[in-house]
């Protein structure tokens, strides 16, 4: 919801993109790393990972739909 424009038509700052990628990679790596045992983490199953991806994509789609409706309502009202 950073802007009124569609998600793929806006560009976030480079720092935000770089840090998001670093955090994402680290988050996915830790449960499969030697640190997993020390931290008491278990690897995530493929089904659970697929569910998280589907839920995340559904959230993005709903967010874009609601943003569009909100902006249309602002212009009408």
The proportion of the chain whose per-residue pLDDT surpasses 70, expressed as a percent, equals 96
Residue for token pair 């874009």 = 64
Backbone φ and ψ for 16, nearest 5 degrees, come out as -65, -45
Q: What is the pLDDT of residue 7?
A: 72
Number of helical H runs and strand E runs in the chain? 3, 0
**pLDDT higher than threshold 70 for residue 1:** no
Domain boundaries, the chain: 11-43, 45-77
The proportion of the chain whose per-residue pLDDT surpasses 90, expressed as a percent, equals 58
């Amino acid at each position: 919801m950073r802007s009124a424009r569609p998600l793929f038509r806006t560009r976030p700052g480079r720092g935000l993109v770089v840090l998001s990628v670093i955090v994402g990679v680290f988050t996915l790596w830790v449960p499969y790393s030697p640190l997993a045992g020390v931290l008491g983490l278990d690897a995530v199953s493929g089904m659970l990972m697929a569910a998280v991806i589907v839920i995340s994509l559904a959230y993005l789609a709903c967010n874009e739909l609601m943003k569009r409706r909100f902006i249309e309502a602002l212009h009408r009202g």
